[in-house]
Amino acid sequence: MRNIFAVFFVCLLLTSCIKKEDYKSVFNNPELYTNAVGDLTKVITHDIFTPPVASRIYAYSNIAAYEVIASNSEYSSIAPKLKDFKLNLSPNNKINTEFTALLAFLYMGQNLIFSKDSIQIVIDNHIDLAEKHGMPSEMIKSSEIYAKNVSQAIFEWAKKDNYKETRSAIKYNVSNSDSSRWVPTPPAYMPAVEPNWMKIRPLLIDSASQFLPNPPSDFSTKKDSKFYTLAKEVYDVGTNLTQEQKAIADFWDCNGFRMNVSGHVMFATKAMTPGGHWMGITGIVCKNQSADFNKTVYAFANVSIGIFDAFIACWNTKFKYDLLRPETYINQHIDYSWRPYLQTPPFPEYTSGHSIISSASATILDKIFGPNTPFTDNTERAWGWPDRDYKNVQHAAQEASISRIYGGIHYREAIEEGLIEGKKIGSLVSSKFN
């Protein structure tokens, strides 16, 4: 990974070292920011953070960058609207706003990931870039200090979001008596991921249960029941998947930790999380829509806050209804040998996390860029999946949702309700930013 960063920067340096004193234009480049988010995604993936935890890293890091922008532009701080957050910092005029925003993003990200050296390389490369392009050393220094102050203030605030406490909170208790409840699934039978995530302090929603979806259909094993029908749909679709459906399922798999088992050979393959995927889409849409640096940061902050709150709401629903996965139900009541096309993620089924966060992200991006946002999603290239074209972000969100049925890991209700809940959260986030 380090090598990739290094190569990228060497190229950048080589092509640009002829010019001097052009740091302003060099840093007024939204792609630098999108790339920095991409670098963070790589580390998140490598370090194996679960989707909710990854959303926390994205949110705080983007907030750090956004607060730098807001302190020095027409954008206004979101801090007053964030729970329990006070930011009493203002920069002196010697900073370069974009450079500072980048550093604040990276410092904050570095606080929250494990492979700190990998992010340090990215930070150092940005500083090198500033030096090579004639940014005054005093400005570099001031920018670094201000970025550190902002990220430190956000870090201190972040520490009180109950994340630490939930590390040692009571874990999920598997029940053998209630057959509607979620149980660990093959092949690794991993314990439920983040059973206390609903206790994390949300950013803009009032509480984890502000937009509680309708409950799922009553559990039943009777063949004429609604629940059986829902499971049967997953089974039928999954049994007769078309190539296109498989492609969609693969494209939106976003499984951060997939276990591959063959005899005694076992290994994980790691993709970016659903949140990571939407960070990627945000970057593409910003570029397509020619968003400038500040607007790009604004969009990232919006979307990442939406995803963060959506995960809290979703996890609240998941552990409230505690519903078993299609794989478990189908194996017990329809076909013992059936396997979902995707690997079932290790947490309760209802509602679909990908649906809610995709819907929230799309709603937010819609608000910022309007409904006409055609784009080619190339974020899955690294995992070997071909690019896909979308009419707009809602189109992508719809496909992300339906992909979970193709993948055999969700019932239809979970994606429909997820889309609705995501939309509500997205609208709320957008309204708070305005």
Partner 1 sequence: MAKVFYSLFIAVFLFTSCGNNNNKLFTLLDKSDTGVEFRNMLVEGDELNVMNYSYFYNGSGVSVGDINNDGLLDLFFTGNMVKNKLYLNKGDFKFEDITSKSGISLLEGWCTGSTMVDINGDGFLDIYVSRSADINPERRKNLFFINNGDLTFTERAEEYGLADDGYSTQASFFDFDKDGDLDMFLINHSLQQYSTGIQENLQLRKLRDPNFATKLYRNDNGYFKDVSIEAGITSNVLSFGLGVAISDVNADSWPDIYVSNDFNEPDYLFVNNGNGTFTDKLTESMDQISMYSMGSDIADYNNDGHTDLITLDMLPEDNKTQKMHSGSENFDKMQFLFNKGFYYQFSRNMLQKNNGDGTFSEIGQLAGVSNTDWSWSALFTDFDNDGNKDLFITNGYVKDYTDMDFLKFTMDQTIKSRQVGKETSVKDYIEKMPTIKMPNYAFQNMGNDRFVKKNIDWGIDQSGISSGAAYADLDNDGDMDLIVSNINDYVSIYRNNSEVIKPNSYLKVKLKGDKNNSLGIGAKVIAYSKGKKYFQEQFLSRGFQSSVDPVLNFGLGEIKVLDSLLVIWPTDKIQKLTNVKVNQTLSIDFKNADIELKSVVEDSFIPYLSATTSINHAHVENAFNDFTVQSLMPNYLSRQGPCMAKGDVNGDGLDDLFIGGAANQAGTLFIQSKNGLFNKKSSPSIDDDAQSEDTSAEFLDIDNDGDLDLYVASGGYEFSYDNSLLQDRIYLNDGKGDFARKLSALPNMLISTGVVKASDINGDGFLDLFVGGRLIPGMYPVSPESKILINDKKGNFSDLSSTIAPQIKEIGMVTDALWLDLNNDKIKDLIIVGEWMPIKVFLNKSGKLVDASSSYIKFASTGWWNRIYADDFDNDGDADLIIGNLGFNAQFKASEKEPLSLYYKDFDGNGSIDPIFCYFLGGVSYPAASRDDLADQLPQIKNNFLEYYKYANATISDLFTESQLSDAKVLKAEILETVYLENTKDGFKLKSLPIEVQYAPIYALTSLDVNKDGKKDLLLAGNNSSTRIKFGQFNANNGVLLTGNGNGTFNYVPQRQSGLKINGDVRSLTTINSGSKANEKFIFGVNNSNLQFLKINY
CB of 266 to partner 1, least distance (A): 5
How large is the angle between the packed helices 243-251 and 393-406, nearest 10 degrees?
Answer: 110
Position among 165, 206, 387, 389 found at the interface with partner 1 (CB under 8 A)? 165
The dihedral through the CA atoms of 306, 150, 101, 291 has a sign that is positive
Query: Residues 30-49: x/- map of binding to partner 1 (CB under 8 A)?
Result: ----------------xxx-
Q: Measure the CA–CA gap between 277 and 146, rounded to whole angstroms.
A: 30
Q: Which of residues 169-208 bind partner 1 (CB under 8 A)?
A: 169-177, 183-184, 186-191
- CB closer to partner 1, 167 vs 222: 167
Position among 16, 77, 180, 331 found at the interface with partner 1 (CB under 8 A)? 331
Q: Which stretch binds partner 1 (CB under 8 A): 290-298, 305-313, 377-385, 404-412?
A: 377-385
Q: Measure the CA–CA gap between 203 and 82, rounded to whole angstroms.
A: 5
How many helices (H) and strands (E) the chain has is answered by 16, 4
- CB closer to partner 1, 187 vs 371: 187
Q: Which stretch binds partner 1 (CB under 8 A): 21-29, 56-64, 298-306, 333-341?
A: 333-341
Task: Indicate whether 434 belongs to the interface with partner 1 (CB under 8 A).
Answer: no
- CB closer to partner 1, 12 vs 259: 259
Task: Indicate whether 222 belongs to the interface with partner 1 (CB under 8 A).
Answer: no
CB of 294 to partner 1, least distance (A): 33
Q: Which of residues 265-324 bind partner 1 (CB under 8 A)?
A: 265-270
CB of 67 to partner 1, least distance (A): 25
Q: SS3 helix, strand, coil % of the chain, rounded to 5?
A: 60, 5, 35
Q: Measure the CA–CA gap between 420 and 356, rounded to whole angstroms.
A: 7
Position among 17, 19, 114, 242 found at the interface with partner 1 (CB under 8 A)? 114
CB of 161 to partner 1, least distance (A): 12
Closest of 175, 138, 113, 162 to residue 315, by C-alpha: 162
Position among 18, 240, 264, 372 found at the interface with partner 1 (CB under 8 A)? 264
Q: Which string of DSSP letters, residue by residue, matches 366-398?
A: HHHH-S---EEE-TTGGGTPPPEEESSHHHHHH
Q: Measure the CA–CA gap between 77 and 395, rounded to whole angstroms.
A: 31
Task: Indicate whether 386 belongs to the interface with partner 1 (CB under 8 A).
Answer: no
- CB closer to partner 1, 93 vs 263: 263
- CB closer to partner 1, 116 vs 246: 116
Residues in CB range of 93: below 8 A, 6 or more apart: none
CB of 119 to partner 1, least distance (A): 12
Residues in CB range of 50: below 8 A, 6 or more apart: 193, 194, 256, 257, 273
Give the H or E element holding residue 131: helix 116-132
Residues in CB range of 179: below 8 A, 6 or more apart: 219, 221, 324, 332
Position among 84, 90, 336, 372 found at the interface with partner 1 (CB under 8 A)? 336
Q: Measure the CA–CA gap between 188 and 192, rounded to whole angstroms.
A: 11
CB of 168 to partner 1, least distance (A): 4
CB of 43 to partner 1, least distance (A): 10
- CB closer to partner 1, 267 vs 372: 267
Residues at the contact surface with partner 1, assessed by CB under 8 A: 1, 46-48, 114-116, 164-165, 167-177, 183-184, 186-191, 259-270, 331, 336-337, 339, 382-384
